[in-house]
Structure 1
Amino acid sequence: MGIHVVTIDHVNYSADRSWLRALRPDDQNILAGAASRPELVAELSEMIGEGAVGWAVERSETLFERVGWTAPFGDYRMARSVPEAIVLSAVLCLCTGRPVTETLLSEATNAIRHAVPRGLSVEQIMQGLQRTVNNLTAELFAFADRTLPSNRITPAGRQAVSDLLAWLDSLTEILVENFSAERQRWLESAAYVRRDLVESVLDGTIDREPSLERLGYDLSQQHVALILWASDGSEQDPQLLERSAVQLLDQAGCTARLLVFVGPAKLWAWGSRARQAPRRPQAAPDVTDFRVAAGLPAGGIAGFRESHRQAALAERMSRLLPRERRLFDFADLDLPLLMSDDLSRARDFVLRHLGPLSSPDDASAELRSTVQAYLEHARGVGAAAEQLHVAKNTVLYRVRKAEQLLDRSLKEDHLRLQVALHLAETIGAPVLASAEAR
């Protein structure tokens, strides 16, 4: 797929665009959580300023929520990066007249490679671009109204609309050309046929022979499903993804495998055994940048579907968990998944039952781990001390300290307390108390 970098020749550079340099995000730390690659953020910050880049990233989050990009892109980080790249491109154009840079277009191209296998259409691209123009126009008029003298608001707004329409024409031409080329390559590949057949099995369209013979994989066996992906969403060597999947399935004792690429940085995998269920994966792939989500072993076509559904839920849960974690096993995450469908309610639950112990500081974390070990061993001080590698007196001191902070005995309502501790340990910061909440 060729990379095209163009400028908009008919932009009126005599117009005053200095007011756009005053764009600032409401959240001054927004760039730390940007979905775009750091090199893209740095490049655009140098060109148009961190304030304008931060404003674009913040507005793209709003667009992400309004439009719901997750479905066509599947991957949360990739789904967020799409509206972010679009808004960054629009703001770049408004400030400089350039709709894209090579780094920015590379980000968009990578998104297209993810989206094409998931059935994204040109019409969806156009709808997303048009929504962007509509939303940005309203946002820019509101910004101009707050910051410019009354005699400059209308000319500035008209110029912004003119520039955005010119940007829309140029970017549409670039993206449609690249999209068409990528889609043609995908449709011609054998991967498309296998992916299409597997999706038909997963959604229940196909559930019997002889169609399933084309998979070359016996669905009547005991299966375990994996999802492997690159943590940064970047394109990966397909053979490296395959080798990682095979390594994990071999560790699980699988004698047959089914591997399906769902994008340049993502792989669905199944492994099976004839007489007994595969083992759960014990470690992440050797490749540091890869992550893996695993479902529970299950049998037959129903098990093939259910194990994959569980792996997909574990992958979704990975967005809330520490970035250094690399293996996400549904068997370890079923309780947090049950409680985190509504993250605000899960956080309220943790704060309500842990109280002062819900602080994210190290001292509170130490008390939580001690209480959790103490309760898991049925209030056995010796067993808890052995697990934590501390003295028994240390466990007793921490237990008394926790009871003082909670203002109650650990013998009371320990089930809810254990659930809250498990959520705090598994999910971490998103369900712990902020400084304002304490």
Structure 2
Amino acid sequence: MATDAHTRRVVAQVAKELTAQLPERTTELANLFLEEIPAFQGEEAVRELMAASTAANLSTMFDLLQHGLPTEQLVVPAAAAAYARRFAQRDLPLESLLRAYRLGSVRFNQWCLRGLSQRELDADVVLACTQEIVQVAGRYIDQISEHLVEIYETERKLWTQRTDAARAIALRTVLDDEALDLGTAEAMVGYRMRGWHVGAVAWMDKDVPDTARRLESAAQLLSTVHGRRPLAVLSDDHTLWAWVTSVEPIRLDHLGLAAALEASGGPLGYAPRMAIGEPAQGLDGFRTTHREAMAARSVAEAAESSPDQVARVVSFAEVSIAALLSENLDSLRTWVRRTLGALARDDEATERLRETVRIFLETGGSFTDAAARLHLHKNTVHYRVRKAEEIRGRPLSEGRLDVEVALVACRQLGSRVLSQAG
């Protein structure tokens, strides 16, 4: 059986020979990565950094074998750390980076075994040397990969924060300064605004953990539904602004998006909510659809006091009347109370009456159709309508259009426009 000392000498000799071949081995591995991993096929400067990272890792691994250095206190080579950070900055997948290390480890072991096969060694020596090479290479890859994951995730978080902060400032300027022309706005944000846009606002409650990651998942879901990556930026720690763009008017699958958002919340239900603007074109449309999404969010939050009104996705088209009216809530509140009288009271019994009246008017004043919609007996609908007229103090036919609009405002804005019971 070979002695440890003899094993070490053989392994060191093989490593020394490979060290002399470092430029060729680096090129071999770099070409392998470019061929096997699409994420590595970036710009020339990035490929040069990848080659430097590969050379640094190989040099370290050769030194470990040649000099018998311990792996416990390994430090990630500077070039390898820089490449991991660049990978994160370009939003390239971490799995591609780790795959390169796995591929490199396999090729490294092949080189070493080939070096052993070129020597006249007893079988037990070959076995002992192979075990040491594989163990050292495995420990190196494991430790370096662990460090790289930390470097990548830290840089991704920091880079996202930096770029989001800068882009958020640019976006606020574009949204607020209507004197900006199209070219200037596109240059500031780094995004084409000549097509059709749909604005979206996703948000989480402030007490939900890990809100940034959950909101980023909402942007990914938009990408899945729309088929293209949206422009997305965190406007604060619990709100995401996003736009999807196309050369043609866009209609998002709201039901599919709502289901996907619901599923993303997991067992605890920590899913984002989302408000969607209407499709609009060009720079003006970019601003308009965002304002509509913000207005729809405001209406959605107002409805949170009524659990049956809470929706995962709310579109401006669904709440446009309430959204437009709510721009001056004080005046709207006064008008609703004047229009509905005591029918605007904020209690459950009056809410049932308002909902019955709303459906009754929607069905053209048909007691039969309203009863079918509400799953009630026709006589019950008749009673509630008469009771509502009594509470209002005048017939529903008097100012009927105003009554219908006021009922929509009550349903969608809830306590913001209702009178306190009592």
Residue in structure 1 matched with residue 373 of structure 2 by the alignment: 387
Residue 375 (structure 1) shift: 0.7
Unpaired runs of at least 5, structure 2: 1-157
- Cα 1:232–1:192 change in 2 (3 A) is closer
String of CA shifts for 1:95-118, please: whole Å, max 9, x gaps: xxxxxxxxxxxxxxxxxxxxxxxx
C-alpha distance in 2 between matches for 1:400 and 1:373? 14
Tell me, yes or no, if the aligned pair for 1:339 and 1:346 is still in contact at 8 Å: yes
Residue in structure 1 matched with residue 210 of structure 2 by the alignment: 236
String of CA shifts for 1:330-370, please: whole Å, max 9, x gaps: 22332223333333332222222222322223222111111
Residue 271 (structure 1) shift: 0.8
The 5-angstrom pairing of residues 145-156 of structure 1 reads none
- Cα 1:430–1:207 change in 2 (3 A) is same
C-alpha distance in 1 between matches for 2:328 and 2:161? 41
Tell me, yes or no, if the aligned pair for 1:236 and 1:265 is still in contact at 8 Å: no
The 5-angstrom pairing of residues 80-159 of structure 1 reads none
- Cα 1:196–1:407 change in 2 (3 A) is closer
Residue 319 (structure 1) shift: 4.5
- Cα 1:254–1:410 change in 2 (3 A) is farther
Tell me, yes or no, if the aligned pair for 1:186 and 1:192 is still in contact at 8 Å: no
**What TM-score comes out, normalization by structure 1 length?**
0.51
Q: Please, which moves more after superposition, 313-322 or 380-389?
A: 313-322
Q: Name the SS for the 2:284 alignment partner.
A: helix
Residue in structure 2 matched with residue 309 of structure 1 by the alignment: 291
Tell me, yes or no, if the aligned pair for 2:196 and 2:247 is still in contact at 8 Å: yes
- Cα 1:254–1:301 change in 2 (3 A) is farther
Residue 414 (structure 1) shift: 0.4
Equivalent residue letter for 1:263: D
The 5-angstrom pairing of residues 327-342 of structure 1 reads 327-342=313-328
Residue in structure 1 matched with residue 145 of structure 2 by the alignment: none
Greater per-residue helix proportion: 2
Q: Please, which moves more after superposition, 216-225 or 361-370?
A: 216-225
Residue in structure 1 matched with residue 194 of structure 2 by the alignment: 220
Residue in structure 1 matched with residue 339 of structure 2 by the alignment: 353
- Cα 1:395–1:215 change in 2 (3 A) is same
Residue 206 (structure 1) shift: 4.7
Tell me, yes or no, if the aligned pair for 1:223 and 1:278 is still in contact at 8 Å: no
- Cα 1:235–1:391 change in 2 (3 A) is same
Equivalent residue letter for 2:236: G
Q: Name the SS for the 2:254 alignment partner.
A: coil
C-alpha distance in 2 between matches for 1:233 and 1:306? 30
- Cα 1:238–1:187 change in 2 (3 A) is closer
Residue in structure 1 matched with residue 275 of structure 2 by the alignment: 293
- Cα 1:246–1:381 change in 2 (3 A) is farther
String of CA shifts for 1:307-340, please: whole Å, max 9, x gaps: 1112222333445332552444322332223333
Residue in structure 2 matched with residue 374 of structure 1 by the alignment: 360
C-alpha distance in 2 between matches for 1:246 and 1:186? 18
Residue in structure 2 matched with residue 428 of structure 1 by the alignment: 414
Residue 270 (structure 1) shift: 0.6
Equivalent residue letter for 1:259: A
Tell me, yes or no, if the aligned pair for 1:222 and 1:278 is still in contact at 8 Å: no
C-alpha distance in 2 between matches for 1:362 and 1:416? 22
C-alpha distance in 2 between matches for 1:188 and 1:342? 35
Tell me, yes or no, if the aligned pair for 2:333 and 2:418 is still in contact at 8 Å: yes
Q: Name the SS for the 1:259 alignment partner.
A: strand
Q: Please, which moves more after superposition, 267-276 or 209-218?
A: 209-218
String of CA shifts for 1:362-412, please: whole Å, max 9, x gaps: 222111111101111211223222221222232222222222333433222
- Cα 1:335–1:221 change in 2 (3 A) is same
Residue in structure 1 matched with residue 144 of structure 2 by the alignment: none
Residue in structure 1 matched with residue 17 of structure 2 by the alignment: none
Residue 303 (structure 1) shift: 0.8
Residue 186 (structure 1) shift: 8.2
Residue 214 (structure 1) shift: 7.5
C-alpha distance in 2 between matches for 1:245 and 1:376? 36
Q: Name the SS for the 1:232 alignment partner.
A: coil
Q: Please, which moves more after superposition, 408-417 or 225-234?
A: 225-234
Computed over aligned residues only, the root mean square deviation of the Cα atoms, in angstroms, reads 2.9
Q: Name the SS for the 2:199 alignment partner.
A: strand
Higher Rg of the two aligned structures: 2
C-alpha distance in 2 between matches for 1:222 and 1:246? 20
Q: Please, which moves more after superposition, 365-374 or 383-392?
A: 383-392
**Would you say 1:275 and 2:261 are equivalent positions?**
no
**What TM-score comes out, normalization by structure 2 length?**
0.53
Residue in structure 2 matched with residue 198 of structure 1 by the alignment: 171
C-alpha distance in 2 between matches for 1:211 and 1:345? 36
In the TM superposition, structure 1's runs of 4+ consecutive aligned residues that sit over 4 Å from their partners are 185-188, 213-216
Residue in structure 2 matched with residue 182 of structure 1 by the alignment: none
Q: Name the SS for the 1:378 alignment partner.
A: coil
String of CA shifts for 1:191-244, please: whole Å, max 9, x gaps: 233333333432346533487268564322211111112212656353421221
C-alpha distance in 2 between matches for 1:379 and 1:211? 51
Residue in structure 2 matched with residue 189 of structure 1 by the alignment: 162
Equivalent residue letter for 1:322: E
C-alpha distance in 2 between matches for 1:359 and 1:210? 51
C-alpha distance in 1 between matches for 2:372 and 2:404? 19
402, 409, 415: which one aligns with 1:416: 402
